[in-house]
Each structure stands twice: as structure tokens, then as C-alpha cells.
Amino acid sequence: MAPLLLINVSNVLAYFFLLGDNIYTYIQAGEDSPYLQAHLTYVSPAIFTFYIWIPIQLLLGGFAKEHVTTIHWNFVGIVALNCLWLNFWEEDLITLSLIAIFLMVLQLSYIYRELEFTYLPYELNDDPIDIVLDVVFIHLPFSLYHSWSAVLLVITTFTIFMPEKIDETPSLIEVFVVILVLICFELLAAMYISANNDFAGFAGYSVILFTFIGIAYEQEYIVIHLTAIIFSLISATYFVISLIMKLRAPPKKQDEDM
């Protein structure tokens, strides 16, 4: 096993590399930058949706200083794939960007599963501050990151396999596919809340909710627009109800089933 110090240093360097690449892309955004809505489709959200990168980047800064045994070198690999996706997209190499984001989602899914079902970092009698820091800087950023990467995977896939948006009159097939994607987004959002042992799952859910709002804001075709609004309302309602139930539920010891 590689020394912990080497892994920690690599995580920090990878974090600053990702931060620099995102900042550079935003400042020097050209016409092919995702921040300027290059390759618009009927599932593309509004520009403000991409600002979800800000909390992800900030929270990952806290993780980069920590070492989690279940993650090891995976964070470095994720950062590399993330930067490849972004730069391939800017160079209009969409097929390569799809491969990069697909591999990135797979790797993030592995980390997400390990964090939720294998990594049990605290018990109820631990220091509350340690519990909060663990949730905020380990579980929370990867919940956000995984959810947002799934959104990027859908956007990239649409760019390749669906016609680029040139007007507000999509075909019946395009409308059907968009609605199917929105349903899948809602199912994914519900998974984040049901699968999490803590409140970090609400972060992943909020990304999907924010994406629904962005799609409703961006898409003017009435069916897609109204469907996105309906899913936004459903998601917001489910989010509030689930949060209230989570707050009222008695705490569960993580070692009950061990």
C-alpha cells in the first residue's frame, strides 16, 4: 500500500489541478465551453446550473486534506477524467468526452458505494464535531460530485446521439426521450435519500432538483418546460418531507447489523 503521506499529497495536488482547470475554463470560456452552453440540446439546463461546481469544489478542498482508506488513488483518477472531459468538450471531441465522463461516473459510483456501505467512520458516541466534519467534507462532496457527474453524462450523451437544438420544435421522439430522462433523474434523486446513512444524500438530491429548475428555465418548448416544472415541484416536496422525516427519526447505531 502506498504511504498515506504520498496519497494525501497527491489528493491535494489533484484538487488544485481541478480547481485551476475549472477557473481557467470559466475565465477563458470560448464558444465550445459548457459554461456557455455549447452544443445545446433539449435537455440542456440553464447556465446557472453549472455553478453547482462552486460548492463541490469548496467541499472537495476539505476532503483533499483528509485520507479515507476506501478512496486511495481514486480521487486522482477522477480528477484526471474530469479534466479530460472538460478539455475534450472544449476541443469539440465529444465522443472522447463521453468516454471520459462515463469512466468518471463509474469511478465515482464505486467511491459513493464504498462511502455509504463500507466506510463507517463514526458512531453515535463520537465527538459531534468529528461527525459533522466527516459528513461535510467526505460524504457531502462526493454525493454532490456523483450526482452532478450523472447529469453531465446525460448532457454529453444527448450531445452525441440527439440532434443539436436549433429551434423550439423538437420531434415527438426527442420529447419522449427528454421526459424519460427526467423520470430517471427523479428515480436517481430518490436513491440518494434512501441509500444514505446520513444527511449527505440530500446534497445529491438537491443537484437533481437544481437541474430540473435549470431545464425548466432554459427549455421553452411547452411540454418539456412544464414537465420540468412538475418534476421540480415533486422533487422539492419530496425533499422537504424526507428531510422532516429524517430529522424526526430516532438515530440508528451503525453497528446494529454488524
Domain ranges of the chain: 4-248
Res. 126: pLDDT tops 80: no
Give dist(CA 151, CA 147) in Å, integer. 7
Contact between 141 and 56 under an 8 Å Cβ cutoff? The reply is yes
Of residues 124 and 83, the one with the higher pLDDT is 83
Residue 135 gets which letter from DSSP?
I
Grid-cell match 453497528, residue found: 255
Q: How confident is the model at residue 29 (pLDDT cuts 50, 70, 90)?
A: low
Averaged pLDDT score across all residues of the chain: 83
CB 129: neighbour CB atoms within 10 A? 8
Give dist(CA 14, CA 68) in Å, integer. 15
Contacts 24+ apart (CB under 8 A), 121-124: 121/68, 122/254, 123/253, 123/254, 123/255, 124/251, 124/253, 124/254
Contact between 89 and 38 under an 8 Å Cβ cutoff? The reply is yes
pLDDT in tens, 108-118: 998 888 887 76
pLDDT in tens, 153-176: 999 999 888 877 777 788 899 899
pLDDT in tens, 145-155: 999 999 999 99
Query: Please, where are the H alpha helices in the chain?
Result: 4-27, 53-64, 74-90, 94-117, 128-134, 140-161, 172-195, 201-218, 222-248
**pLDDT at residue 120, rounded to an integer:** 57
Res. 245: pLDDT tops 60: yes
**pLDDT at residue 36, rounded to an integer:** 62
DSSP string, 91-108: TT-HHHHHHHHHHHHHHH
**pLDDT at residue 145, rounded to an integer:** 94
Buried b (16+ CB within 10 A) or exposed e, 216-230: bbbbebeebbebbee
Give dist(CA 3, CA 24) in Å, integer. 32
What residues contact 113, with CB distance under 8 A and at least 6 apart?
none
